[in-house]
């Protein structure tokens, strides 16, 4: 790196010159760091070209996803217990409404209002730490929780998972167990599958898990028919099949939701050690919906890499939206008109999966938040079919 030019000793020694340099430095720093950014976007510069978006009128909700609790050996999917306790205390002290996912989805389906600051806790895979650490904390507070169960692991008696007996013990009072497929294998069509074979496999995975849940936990289990996609991976064909079967698809890409959200793939904010410091948590649970009316393409399966994504908004949102990849690099953006934004990455997306995330500050100090999942077909590693 070349050495910076030497500063003029005459300018530095003169009080007025020094003052001018200091003022210029303050202005430059201010321009670079305003407005504040969500933590996932903190490495990129900000170029706000419009006033902040107005506060949300149609109330939003935030769905969180956890896996392990207090299991330090898997930091990528674990939340430390001290972090978790701080998160629960923050919600209790700041008048948040904690709902189950079935309660939220029913409100969306019936188009009934939800209160501001509604948060849903979901947990994938029903690991034993859910029973040992998470559920007792929620029972003590009288809060609901939604646990997605891949039923083969329970039937095979893995010591790392909950048992049916433990689920029967704690279910009720808002603790609900719902569908995460039987095997937890990816449900996207494989390269060696015909369309007919793929549809049969998906129906067996989903219906088989539903039957086991109801056989062990009662016929009323998962009446809302919630399904969390294994690994958060789905295709448009899978999302449509899931809807055809009467299920609500739950994804793993970050963003707030409301009654206009697509019930084929509801967004959730992942929570783990790396993304769960308190400032990040506060920004996420206070997030509101970015009013995206249409996504093109909806299908996460990438055909051309890097993919271009076009977002159409219900109304002009202002042009201070910022979009990033998971590494925090700023995406390329082009406004096609006042309500249509095209975004893309300069570099190809590596397998197996990724996302584009967009945020926008509101006038009341919150963040509009949206993201779109991508799945990179790679037969050698995932066996996925380019549907």
Distance CA 77, CA 174 (A): 24
For residue range 49-86, what is the model confidence (pLDDT) as tens digits? 455 665 545 799 999 999 999 999 999 999 999 999 99
Residue 48, classified by CB atoms within 10 Å of its CB into exposed (0-12), middle (13-18) or buried (19+), is: middle
Question: Would you state the pLDDT for residue 29?
Answer: 37
Whole-prediction pTM: 0.86
β-pairing verdict for 288-289 and 145-149: unpaired
Distance CA 255, CA 25 (A): 35
Secondary structure (DSSP) of 143-202: --EEEEE-HHHHHTT-TTB--HHHHHHH-BTTEEEEE--SS----SPBTT--HHHHHHHH
> Integer distance in angstroms from the first to the last C-alpha of the chain?
48
Question: Would you state the pLDDT for residue 322?
Answer: 97
Written as six digits, the tokens of 51 are: 């006033």
Distance CA 244, CA 70 (A): 38
Beta strands in the chain (DSSP E): 61-66, 68-69, 78-79, 97-99, 118-124, 145-149, 175-179, 226-228, 248-250, 269-270, 288-289, 292-296, 308-313, 322-324, 332-337, 340-344, 353-361, 367-375
Q: What is the pLDDT along the chain (387 residues), one digit of tens a residue?
A: 434 333 333 333 344 444 444 344 433 333 333 334 454 443 333 434 455 665 545 799 999 999 999 999 999 999 999 999 999 999 999 999 999 999 999 999 999 999 999 999 999 999 999 999 999 999 999 999 999 999 999 999 999 999 999 999 999 999 999 999 999 999 999 989 999 999 999 999 999 999 999 999 999 999 999 999 999 999 999 999 999 999 999 999 999 999 999 999 999 999 999 877 899 999 999 999 999 999 999 999 999 999 999 999 999 999 999 999 999 999 999 999 999 999 999 999 999 999 999 999 999 999 999 999 999 986 423 334 434
Question: Would you state the pLDDT for residue 36?
Answer: 41
Cβ 268 vs Cβ 254: under 8 Å: yes
The domains found in the chain, sorted by start residue, are 61-287 (3.20.20.370), 290-387 (2.60.40.10)
Question: Would you state the pLDDT for residue 275?
Answer: 79
Cβ 313 vs Cβ 270: under 8 Å: no
For residue range 180-234, what is the model confidence (pLDDT) as tens digits? 999 999 999 998 999 999 999 999 999 999 999 999 999 999 999 999 999 999 9
Question: In the sheet where 288-289 sits, what is the strand order?
Answer: 288-289, 367-375, 353-361, 322-324
Question: Would you state the pLDDT for residue 27?
Answer: 38
């Amino acid at each position: 790196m070349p050495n910076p030019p030497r500063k003029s000793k005459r300018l530095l020694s003169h009080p007025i010159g020094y003052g001018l340099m200091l003022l210029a430095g303050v202005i430059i720093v201010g321009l670079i760091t305003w407005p504040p950014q969500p933590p996932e976007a903190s490495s990129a510069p900000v170029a706000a070209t419009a006033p902040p978006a107005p506060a949300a009128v149609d109330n939003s909700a935030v769905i969180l996803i956890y896996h392990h609790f207090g299991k330090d050996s898997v930091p990528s999917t674990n939340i430390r217990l001290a972090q978790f306790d701080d998160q629960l205390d923050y919600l209790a002290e700041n008048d948040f409404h904690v709902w189950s996912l079935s309660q939220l989805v029913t409100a969306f389906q019936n188009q009934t209002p939800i209160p501001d600051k509604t948060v849903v806790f979901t947990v994938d895979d029903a690991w034993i730490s859910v029973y040992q650490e998470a559920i007792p904390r929620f029972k003590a507070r009288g809060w609901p929780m939604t646990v997605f169960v891949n039923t083969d692991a329970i039937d095979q008696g893995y010591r790392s998972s909950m048992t049916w007996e433990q689920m029967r013990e704690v279910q009720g009072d808002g603790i609900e167990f719902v569908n995460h497929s039987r095997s937890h294998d990816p449900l996207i069509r494989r390269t060696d599958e015909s369309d007919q074979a793929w549809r049969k496999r998906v129906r067996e995975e989903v219906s088989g898990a539903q039957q086991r849940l109801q056989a062990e936990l009662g016929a009323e289990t998962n009446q809302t028919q919630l399904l969390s996609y294994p690994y958060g991976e789905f295709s448009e064909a899978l999302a449509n099949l899931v809807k055809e079967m009467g299920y609500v698809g739950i994804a793993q890409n970050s963003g707030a939701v409301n009654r206009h959200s697509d019930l084929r793939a509801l967004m959730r904010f992942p929570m783990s050690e790396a993304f769960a410091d308190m400032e990040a948590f506060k920004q996420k649970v206070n997030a509101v919906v970015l009013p995206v009316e249409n996504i093109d393409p909806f299908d996460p399966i990438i055909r051309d890499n890097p993919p271009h994504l076009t977002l159409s908004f219900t109304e002009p949102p202002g042009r201070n939206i910022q979009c990033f990849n998971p590494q925090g690099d700023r995406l390329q953006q082009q406004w096609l008109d006042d309500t249509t934004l095209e975004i893309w990455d300069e570099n190809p997306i590596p397998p197996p999966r990724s996302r584009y995330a967009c945020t926008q500050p509101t006038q009341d100090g919150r963040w509009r938040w949206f993201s779109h999942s991508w799945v990179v077909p790679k037969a050698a590693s995932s066996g996925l079919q380019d549907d």
